Amino acid sequence: MAKKSYELTEGEWAIIQAVWDSEPCAAPTVQEELAGQKKWTYSTVKTMMDRMVAKGLLTTKKIRNLILYRSAITRKQAQKGEIMRALKRAFDGALTPMMQFLLDNHKLSQKQLAELEALIKRKRGKSKSHSGRRGK
């Protein structure tokens, strides 16, 4: 069964990646980790993280005066949301044109092509084994 996917903003992506790298962590830790790429103040990071809690992307645990944040979603869920968002925006939700675009615009080695073919064959094999099972 497919897990739920989440569409994150660019800022949410930056924050959740920092959280994944350091969890559990406090907002100042995230702000420090992002300081090289973002010029966000502590209050900006804290506000964004609190909004992410409200959206179900992060969870919190209070220990005395310290609030520790953890991710509430997996990398796979976030990646799925990002791909589905791109698919909807750029290709009206159609997977085949997106795959064609990727194949036409990326130089793939013979090894990479073989890996993709193996993935497709495996997927076809799973589909046949599930649909072809009737009482014998």
Residues 6+ apart with CB under 8 A from 15: 30, 34, 45, 48, 49, 52
Based on its alpha-carbon atoms, the radius of gyration of the chain, rounded to whole angstroms, reads 20
Query: Which residue has tokens 């997996």?
Result: 74
Report percent pLDDT > 90 for the chain.
Answer: 57
Residue/partner pairs of 109-113 with CB below 8 Å, 24 or more apart:
none
Quote the CA–CA distance of 48 and 20 in Å, as a whole number.
16
Digit-coded pLDDT (tens) for 32-67: 999 989 999 999 999 999 999 999 999 999 999 999
Residues 6+ apart with CB under 8 A from 94: 87
